[in-house]
Homo-oligomer: A and B are copies of this chain.
């Protein structure tokens, strides 16, 4: 068995409780005994047992992070690595550990979260996604368990601390960018319609069209999964429209990559025949041929702020509910151009 607080106490000739106070650096212990105790700890190579401490103090200093189910897809997307990067920075700074839960099905995931929460494994939880009617979110909310969501909660927005982009605005700007280039037939390729990020971006897109008096064409809106195949399927569907769009708002780089693949294969020129703007600005956007104009949403920062917010929530009894909006910005590359007069008038 390892060195315990008792061993230290014995060597330093004090009570275990005194050692405990020294660890917590209680001001009620004289510098003198603090020094003695610390020397004893040093000499014995003592390290506090976190589990015991957790049990006694009812706090673990670990944060649980919940990936969406079907995490297979999620792992492939650069979003995952970046958000974890940010989370791990934020957690490490405050000396919190990170624990991960995944599940193949929603129910498996739910069980995992329940174990984390009721098992007392974590002090708080960060949801890496936000969707409509999420059982897990309801569970956390009902139990009043501390949590933060990355993305905008679908309901009770005012009561849930979350870190998000202004996805409505970002999509509106992206769409306006296309409109300003002269596009009128603009397609929208979004993720699952049950994700709030998709809903917000779709609304931004619609608003921009409305403001410019462009009639919304429901046939121009496609929902697919956030991976390459999703983008491919989406663009194929869009190309089957009697009048295909000349510009596409694609809400994920990996999808956009699929879009580019398909168009390239069909020898459709980007940006002269179809313009594309993507979201997230992962390395893929830069690597694509042509390089994609993309909206950078600063994913690392999203994770970093989420970790910090949760920790504040945990450490401050009555920390208010917060909404943190991470700014986005447009990175212009070479996937957007004015619609070719030829083509657009040709078809009409």
Contacts and interface: CB of A to CB of B under 8 A. Distances in A.
Contact of A289 (B88, B114, B289): B289
Interface stretch (A77-85, A128-136, A147-155): A77-85
A108 to B, nearest CB: 8
Interface in A1-59: 2, 47-52, 54-55
What does DSSP make chain A's interface, helix, strand, loop or mixed?
helix
Contacts of A71: 85, 88
B102 A99 contact: no
A180 interface: no
A247 to B, nearest CB: 23
Nearest to A59: B51
Contacts of A98: 99-100
A62 interface: yes
Given A82-B75, A120-B49, A97 B101 contact: yes
A119 to B, nearest CB: 4
Interface of A: 2, 47-52, 54-55, 60, 62, 71-72, 75-76, 78, 80-82, 84-85, 88-89, 92, 97-103, 108, 112, 114-116, 118-121, 228, 257, 283-284, 287-289
Given A89-B102, A283-B284, 19 more contacts: A2-B120, A47-B115, A47-B119, A49-B119, A50-B121, A51-B55, A51-B120, A51-B121, A52-B120, A71-B88, A75-B81, A75-B85, A76-B81, A80-B81, A88-B102, A97-B116, A98-B99, A98-B100, A100-B100
